[in-house]
Amino acid sequence: MKRWQQRYRYALIVFRELVKTDFQLRYQGSFLGMLWSVVKPLMLFAVMYVVFVRFLKFTDGTPTFPISLLCGTCLWNFFSEATTMGMHAVVNRGDLLRKIHFPNYIIVASTTMGSMISLGINLLVVIVFGFFAHAHYTWRVLLVPFSIIQLYAIALGVALLLGTLFVYFRDIAHIWEVILQAMFYATPIIYPISMVASNQDFGWAADLLMLNPTTQAIMDIRHNLLSPEYVPNVWSMVDSPILCLLPYALSAVILAAGVYVFRKHSAKFAEVL
């Protein structure tokens, strides 16, 4: 442990300072400051609730769907923000890479951790609202941190991959914006997964969506945090236990691939930038 501390002490100090600096600069100059981390998802939730629930009737009829929509919005905002900001992190911190010697992955990790702090604040708001929105808190709440860690691992792995590609190909930012938009509509956030499962022609697509690790992590968090009775997860949607393990394995593969690609090319970042 002592050798480990000596080896990574400097890296941990840099990581902590970058997380603090990035989070402070994120809301610098704004009137509400860090309150935007709460106000922004609430505003997005209000728009989605009025348009998709009230007008388009995208609801499963359960009393927890509004709070589930809010929770899903917060989780998706985290994934979108962490991957997008992580993609730009290396290029934005190029001057730091040329001046100070430290593990380059810290730049991406610190950016994604800043998004993680915002997610923690948002989930506290979700929990408070849940007391007034028929959320059913059970012992399964203890499983939520594991699903959050899984979602963070996916976001970090994707951010490392995108951050590496963005150093060499700046067009990747526009491509990822389109992919994010497609992933948002392919994830049951503004609509219940039961709406897809009940479709006679595309009922099979519900199982396919649940095997997406991002969807699986978001649905697991909503299931364990808000209502095990009303919110399904991969274990209740997919019949095969082996297939249920697939999104968890894919999460590990995405993180491992991100770390491998980033480490392989990070030595040339300062030279390219």
Q: Tell me the one-letter amino acid at 32.
A: L
* Residue whose C-alpha is closest to residue 197's, from 219, 169, 181, 173: 219
Helix (H, G, I), strand (E, B) or coil at 215: helix
- Per-residue pLDDT of 140-160, as tens digits, reads 999 999 999 999 999 999 999
Q: Give the H/E segment covering residue 145.
A: helix 144-168
Name the residue ranges covered by the structural domains of the chain: 2-272
CA distance 179 to 61: 30
pLDDT interval class at 82 (50, 70, 90)? very high
pLDDT at residue 100 greater than cutoff 80: no
pLDDT at residue 232 greater than cutoff 90: no
Q: pTM higher than 0.85, yes or no?
A: yes
**Mean confidence (pLDDT) of the chain:** 86
CA 129 to chain centre: 21
pLDDT confidence of residue 273: 65
CA distance 94 to 269: 8
pLDDT at residue 133 greater than cutoff 80: yes
193: CB partners within 8 A, 6+ apart: 206, 209, 210, 219, 232, 237
- Per-residue pLDDT of 172-216, as tens digits, reads 999 999 999 999 998 999 888 888 887 777 767 888 888 899 999
Q: Where are the alpha helices (DSSP H) in 49-171?
A: 65-92, 94-99, 105-130, 144-168
Q: Indicate if the alpha-carbon torsion angle 125, 70, 145, 154 is positive or negative.
A: negative
Helix (H, G, I), strand (E, B) or coil at 63: coil
Span 217-235, average pLDDT? 90
Span 243-253, average pLDDT? 93
pLDDT at residue 253 greater than cutoff 90: yes
Range with the poorest average pLDDT among 17-21, 81-85, 107-111, 182-186: 17-21
In degrees, rounded to 5, the angle at the alpha carbon of residue 129 between the alpha carbons of residues 127 and 134 is: 95
pLDDT at residue 6 greater than cutoff 70: no
Number of H helices, E strands in the chain: 14, 0
Helix (H, G, I), strand (E, B) or coil at 163: helix
pLDDT interval class at 28 (50, 70, 90)? low
- Per-residue pLDDT of 103-132, as tens digits, reads 788 889 888 998 898 899 899 989 988 888
CA distance 230 to 253: 30
